[in-house]
A and B are shown apart, each in its own frame.
Chain A
Amino acid sequence: MSDQFIIGGKSLTSRLFIGTGKYSTDALIPEIIKKSGSQVITVALRRVDFNSSTGNVMNHIPKAMQLLPNTSGARNAQEAIRIARLAKAAGYGNWIKIEVISDNKYLLPDGYETIKATEVLAGEGFVVLPYISPDLMVAKKLVEVGAAAVMPLGAPIGTNRGLKTKELLKILIEEISLPVIVDAGIGKPSDACEAMEMGAAACLLNTAIASANAPAVMAEAFGLAVAAGRKAYLAGLGSSQQYANASSPLTGFLDD
């Protein structure tokens, strides 16, 4: 059976998005990409460091990869919009991950500013993937203003704690017509597998791979986990009965 995954008009075969942050060296990236099977990769935008001799991260990302620049550093919609326009000027496409964070303690996103930025950028033709807390009303608003997907967190960024927001993620998957991509907090391949079994469209993860002892091997594990979870979802999980053995019958009176 064909399982189409289309975002911003682009057809993808891998439902694992990866990041490029926190690696000991950018040179690991090509191997991570290969082993994970991922086709979408995030990068951040920063001022060039004239004194540094490290090469550009773009040197390590194959041309075929779909670039997903993020607006990390933005504390409000205006800053996110500026970063998005700058990223687009780099000439690698018009996808943008909106990340508006003014909370340095937990790195939780500002839903309100995210909605504002999404509306402007979607209007300018960007393929907008907003990063949010799993808030149904925020997600609905994002659908309205033209987001291409919604990216709710499973747990705060970098915590590797898994799907702490599982109940809310399920609601989003149920109610939002756009792809729901679980972004942030995924720690183990089984977390990613679980997200996919629940019906998420994809998973985005960075820390879980970068912080592993053997990142390339972990990347492969995640690739397999996402694929397995997706297959399980498509196959249709069997029913689990909770109400089978009840003590007092409620419909006995019908037979009287």
Chain B
Amino acid sequence: MSFYDEYLAYSDAMLTAALVETTGEQVLKIIGKERLTPMDFLALLSPAAEAHLELMAQKAYALTVQHFGRVILLYTPMYLSDYCTNQCTYCGFNATNTFTRKQLTMVEVAREAQNIAATGLKHILILTGDAPKIAGISYIKDCVKILKKYFSSIAIEVYAMEREEYASLIEAGVDSMTLYQETYNSQIYDTLHVKGPKKDYSYRLDAPERACKAGMRSVNVGALLGLDNWRKDGFFTGVHADYLQNKYSEIEISISLPRIRPTMGNYDEPLQVTDKNMVQFMTAFRLFMPRAGITLSTRERAEFRNHAIKLGITKMSAGVNTAVGGHSDNQENSGQFAISDTRNVKEMCEAIYKLGYQPIYKDWQML
């Protein structure tokens, strides 16, 4: 049994019909429920729910304060390597994009780590492209060994791996893993991933579960909103998270809501995802999974991120640079995506305090 079986249970026709047929009355009933089913979640993502957004937001706010408190966990991404063998049409690291690729040496990793640690952050997310021969397990492990000295939690957002590979990274000191399916729509997925190992939809889809089986402490899933209809990808994100949480009750499951941003490359017009859509997704998800974390990255502009704090977000990045070595050099190396919120850690903290929330630097420590 894999999540793929669950995915197949929701045909595109069924989703389209349900989204169209949901009524405002049904939405109100669902908002009042204590526990939502996946179909309830879908109903909250429908156009009919837009008229009740404020009600959803109020409940999402209450639930988040109840289960998480008035806190926001801060972290930052560290890009270790931008070498990549995939040709994904929407990504700045696309193998066909020509720019000088870079991979941090251990000395550079230490320097990046020092610079980031100096800002007070304790949770780090390390990223690579998909190039195992260049930036593979042993390279990542070497980096982790250094990073362990500076950070209390190390998360990875790299290429899809085998269960044993996740297990060896966990042993090295990784406690969290993020992997976006990009889009759960297998047909669109196929056209977007022109060439490279990432073209394998199922292998990627099952990767978060392999990480769970390997004993990863926390697992984060998501879709790049705008590649397909956001309501459908949003739905599958939630259902994927729910599937993992039910099956692996001891693991902390969370989601991210990355909305597609301009990148170098030739990706055509993404589908529209408005601010209102984003709010609908995060509040609907909060009602569906009251205890799951929600991360909002610097793809979003500062003003929007501030508002999102009260809408269910629990984790945010700060002081972000999506270029390899971006926390050390100031050169204009091509980042993975264009950042919107450029606030550093200090600025983020000020904004969070102003909203009556507390920024958290450290949630746990692996012993």
Contacts and interface: CB of A to CB of B under 8 A. Distances in A.
The answer to whether A and B touch in the complex, with CB atoms under 8 Å apart, is yes
B32 A241 contact: yes
B72 interface: no
Interface stretch (A51-59, A223-231, A242-250): A242-250
Nearest to A241: B32
Nearest to B307: A253
B58 A250 contact: yes
Contacts of B62: 243
B57 A239 contact: no
B54 A240 contact: no
A239 B59 CA distance: 14
A243 B29 contact: no
Interface in B201-236: none
Interface string B26-68: 0011111111000000000000000001110111011000000
A251 interface: yes
- A249, A251, A252, A253 — which one has the most chain B CB atoms within 10 A of its CB? A251
Interface residues of B, number: 23
Nearest to B312: A250
B32 A239 contact: yes
B133 interface: no
B53 A251 contact: yes
Contacts, number: 46
A240 B59 CA distance: 13
B311 interface: yes
A170 B34 CA distance: 10
Nearest to B311: A250
B57 A251 contact: yes
Contacts of B55: 241, 243-244
A243 B279 contact: no
B252 to A, nearest CB: 17
B32 A246 contact: no
A242 B276 CA distance: 23
A254 B275 contact: yes
Contact of B276 (A241, A246, A249, A254): A254
A174 B33 CA distance: 13
A238 B29 contact: yes
B31 A241 contact: yes
Interface string A211-243: 000000000000000000000000000111111
B198 interface: no
B61 A250 contact: yes
B6 to A, nearest CB: 16
B54 A249 contact: yes
Given A238-B29, A254-B275, A246 B54 contact: yes
Given A243-B58, A246-B58, A249-B54, A254 B279 contact: yes
Contacts of B54: 246, 249-252
B327 interface: no
B310 interface: yes
25 contacts: A174-B35, A238-B29, A239-B28, A239-B29, A239-B30, A239-B31, A240-B32, A241-B31, A241-B55, A242-B32, A242-B59, A243-B31, A243-B55, A243-B62, A244-B55, A246-B54, A246-B58, A249-B54, A250-B311, A251-B54, A251-B57, A252-B54, A253-B303, A253-B307, A254-B279
Would you list the 6 A-B pairs with minimal beta carbon distance, nearest first?
A239-B32, A250-B57, A243-B58, A239-B29, A246-B58, A243-B59
Interface of A: 170, 174, 238-244, 246, 249-254
